[in-house]
Amino acid sequence: MIEVISDSRCVDCGICVDVCPTNVFDLSADGPPVIARQSDCQTCFMCEAYCPTDALFVAPLAGPAPTGSPLADEAALEAQNRFGEYRRWLGWGHGRTPGSRRDQNHVFTARALSPPKRAGR
Amino acid sequence: MTGGPRRRSPSVAIPAESDVLVLGGGPAGTWAALGAASRGARVTLVDKGYCGTSGSTAAAGNNLWYLPPGGPAREKAVAAREISGGYLTDRRWMFRLLDQTWDAVGQLADWGYPFPTSDDGTQRRASLQGPEYMRLMRRRVRRAGVAVIDQSPALELLVDPDGVVTGAAGLRRQHAGERWEVRAGAVILATGGCAFRSGALGLNVDTGDGALMAAELGADLSGMEFSCQYGIAPAFGAQTKGLMYQFATFTAADGTELACGLRPGGVLEVQRAALYSQVYAQLDLAEPGIRSAMRWSQPNFFLPFDKIGVDPFARRFPIRFVLEGTVRGTGGLRLVDDGCATAVPGLFAAGDAASREPVTGAVSGGGSHNGSWAIASGSWAGAAAARFASTRAGQWRTAPLAHGGGPGLRPRAARGDLRADDVVEAVQDRVLPLRHNRFRTAADLRESLTVLDALWPVVAGGLTAADGDPRSVLRTREATAMLAHARWMYRSALARPETRGMHLRDDSPQTTPAFARRIRVGGLDEVWTALDVAPPALLRTEETEETAVP
């Protein structure tokens, strides 16, 4: 679920409010949008993909992060370079190459259809 | 943080009238909008969330059922699917699906979708990454002149005095719940399937709203017993992407190996084991050399692991099975012609809102058949709806319209105390657990139906409106739709006393040739089922018919 909107990164553009498919955010009168309905978050990471300043962090948990979790701690996340992670894979953002250019799903669909004989392990 | 006015995309005004109205902005809805617009129709597309991020495809991405014309590949694939699909497919629909997909994906390439290129310089076009694909579709739809209205869930259909669908009404949830109404010459439901808010990746918007609206006007459904597809997710989350588990070894708590890879029988054993204890997976069958390709192919599979700091190759992690309902199941509104019309005049259905039995049969359409189906059925529905609207007599523009919505929207009696969330919880109790929905028995299905049927009059009577928020009606409508789906699903499952495809009856494990027929279901106050009289059009049958047509 969405855990962090970084105050220092956010430019108050409101794109996350627009694009969230489950309407989790609200605009605020001054300052960054707020996480108004966290329980509606479906952990789809789309807000991260669309945030132009990498200001959002969606924890990969199906429920809210426990109190004190590093997954809700902006400084800890910043230290681990967690902001903007999905956009780097997608290749979204100025000067990046779309990640889809490196898509090799054909290898995996073919392999799923006719799995190799299991090697001895 | 910067001061000053924030940049918001300008709010699009909702047109009062449109030739074609599309409900839903996933792949099926966007292809439908393009199909209608390219035939000169004025089109409005309304999404519950945001066209570009809503639904399964944007979040998850998908492979396609995509095979070149000519040569034996298609014939072979169709024949194989006929068998694996439990003999419920339709040969002609499969071929036209493959034709349409081939052409549409060519368009995607022309529009600049960044496909990967193989060593010989040709593009590999059978996989679409979700965010990239749906961002492009939104751009194309807007460029085609379609009015795209986001964050505006539809609540009900509007009908003219002849019972022809002539628009829809809903609310704008980012405008204090203000109501909207669009009058339209034809309506396309591309509202997705129903995943009962299980949390499966991107699926919580899929609450079955469209089928409820259609059923209120008498539309029927088909294949609703094939609604028990479960995705594998790490236990900490709900990211249901399955393909990479082909490299998994599945183990029980004590380390005993249960299965490896995605062999259907193997996954079933893991699911049975999960009834009794925690089960685990580890992607230990993936050679180090292939891991980078895995990551670049499905970054959204690995993202949750990276974020939580678990290396899925190096150590086993607890998993769970998350219901994907009719989204990766098969069932939905029954289509009555090649243009994806439903049984209700003026109303069309596409994507997961429609039954995919003609092309997937009794097994999951996964991301591939379903992905192609969204493209093809959307395109067909868009074209047919535009034609319907243009040939329709002009009175629809002025005729008085009736509101089709009932339960969950217009209380029949004095409202009770039950909240929408209570209803959702009660439905989830009966449909999410493997023990009820994966491993079915007549006795358990009846027990579920006893609970669910008893809820219906309470919901129809009226849920509480205590919080006074005008947007709450969306919650009650969604809860109503999920309850309706649960009842259609289990009634259909009872009507199929055999095991076929994903529908597993532990009390009737045999497949019975007499049941190589589709099952229709419908009704709200009283749910009915009927075994289709005609058998599905399989290879042999259709060949005979084709020779008769010059």
Query: Are A60 and B305 a contacting pair at CB < 8 A?
Result: yes
**How near does any CA of chain B get to the CA of A113, in Å?**
9
Mean pLDDT for the stretch of residues B267-294: 97
Contact at 8 Å (CB) between B247 and B283?
Answer: yes
Query: What pLDDT does A118 receive?
Result: 58
- Summarize pLDDT for B317-352 with one digit per residue, the tens: 999 999 999 999 999 999 999 999 999 999 999 999
Q: Give which of B132, B198, B424 to mutate to test A binding, by max A Cβ within 10 Å.
A: B132
Q: Supply angle C-alpha B244, B85, B240, rounded to 5.
A: 25
A89 → closest Cβ in B303, B304, B368: B303
- Mind listing the pLDDT tens digit for each residue in B466-503? 788 888 999 999 999 999 999 999 999 999 999 999 99
Give how far A92 is from chain B: nearest CA, Å: 9
Report which of residues A26 and A114 the model is more confident about.
Answer: A26
Query: pLDDT by residue (tens digit) across B448-459?
Result: 999 999 999 999
- pLDDT the model gives residue A116: 76
pLDDT band per the 50, 70, 90 thresholds, residue B547:
very low
- Nearest to B149, CA basis, from B262, B277, B11: B11
ipTM value: 0.96
pLDDT in tens, B384-420: 999 999 999 889 999 999 999 999 999 888 888 999 9
Under DSSP, the state recorded for B370 is H
Name the residue of chain A whose CA is nearest to B115's CA. A101
Domain ranges of chain B: 17-228+326-403, 231-325, 420-547
Confidence of residue B256 (pLDDT cuts 50, 70, 90): very high
CATH number, span B420-547: 1.20.58.100
Q: Are B53 and A46 a contacting pair, CB within 8 Å? A: yes
What percent of chain B shows pLDDT beyond 70? 96
Query: Residue B548: what pLDDT?
Result: 33
Q: Where are the beta strands (DSSP E) in B173-277?
A: 178-189, 221-222, 229-234, 249-252, 257-260
- For residue B61, the one-letter residue type is G
Give the 3-state secondary structure of residue B526.
coil
Strands (E) across B399-486 are located at: 402-403
A99 → closest Cβ in B55, B263, B296: B296
- B167's tokens: 């628009």
Residues of chain B neighbouring A104 (CB-CB closer than 8 A):
116, 293, 296-297
Residue of B238, B284, B296 lying closest to A43 (CB–CB):
B238
Q: Are B415 and B461 in contact (CB under 8 A)?
A: yes
Cβ of B6 under 8 Å from any chain A Cβ?
Answer: yes
State pLDDT tens for residues B162-192: 999 999 999 999 999 999 999 999 999 999 9
Q: How far apart are CA A90 and CA B130, in angstroms?
A: 10
CB A57 within 8 A of CB A83: yes
Average pLDDT for A12-37: 96
Q: Which domains does chain A have, with CATH numbers?
A: 2-113 (3.30.70.20)
Please report, for residues B82, B312, B415, B538, B541, the alpha-carbon distance to residue B545 in angstroms, rounded to integers and kept in the order given: 18, 52, 55, 11, 7
Phi, psi of B403 (to 5 degrees): -85, 125
Percent of chain B scoring above 90 in pLDDT: 89
Q: How confident is the model at residue B536 (pLDDT cuts 50, 70, 90)?
A: confident
Consecutive H or E run containing B487: helix B472-494
pLDDT at residue B541, rounded to an integer = 45
Mode of pairing for the β-strands spanning B317-325 and B279-282: antiparallel
Q: Which one-letter amino acid corresponds to residue B83? A: I
Candidate from B116, B199, B244 with C-beta closest to A104: B116
Cα–Cα distance for residue pair B171/B152, rounded to 1 Å: 5
Question: For residue B484, what pLDDT is reported?
Answer: 98
Kindly determine whether residue B295 and residue A89, on different chains, have CB atoms separated by under 8 Å. yes
- Whether B201 has its CB under 8 Å from any CB of chain A: the answer is yes
For residue A81, the Cα-to-chain-centroid distance in whole angstroms is 13
- Whether B210 and B189 have beta carbons less than 8 Å apart is answered as yes
**Was domain B17-228+326-403 assigned CATH 3.40.50.10090?**
no
Does the beta carbon of B38 lie under 8 angstroms from any beta carbon of chain A? no
Q: What is the pLDDT of residue B238?
A: 85
Residue B173 to residue A106, Cβ atoms within 8 A: no
The minimal CB distance from B49 to the residues A10, A22, A118 is found for A22
- Can you give the pLDDT at residue B413? 85
Minimum mean pLDDT range among B6-10, B104-108, B114-118, B430-434: B6-10
Distance from CA of B545 to the nearest CA of A (A): 32
Calpha distance B105→B509 (Å, rounded): 40
Structure confidence at residue B549 (pLDDT): 32
Region of residue B209 (phi > 0: left; psi between -120 and 50: alpha; otherwise: beta): alpha
Distance from CA of A96 to the nearest CA of B (A): 12
Q: What is the pLDDT of residue B3?
A: 42
Would the CB atoms of B295 and A17 count as touching at under 8 Å?
A: no
**CA quadruple B335, B36, B170, B202: dihedral sign:** positive
Asked if the Cβ–Cβ distance from B295 to A42 is below 8 Å, we say no
Q: How many angstroms separate the CA of residue B63 from the nearest CA in chain A?
A: 8
According to DSSP, the β-strands at B347-349 and B178-189 are: parallel
pLDDT digits (tens, 9 = 90+) for B200-255: 999 999 999 999 999 999 999 999 999 999 999 999 998 999 999 999 999 999 99
Tokens found for residue B157: 């259909």
pLDDT for the residue numbered A113: 81
Smallest CA–CA distance from B284 into chain A, residue: A121
Six-digit token string for B393:
């007599």
Per-residue pLDDT tens digits for B37-82: 999 999 999 999 999 999 999 999 999 999 999 889 999 999 999 9
The CATH fold of domain B231-325: Flavocytochrome C3; Chain A, domain 1 (3.90.700)
| Average pLDDT of the residues of chain B | 94
Amino acid at B26: G
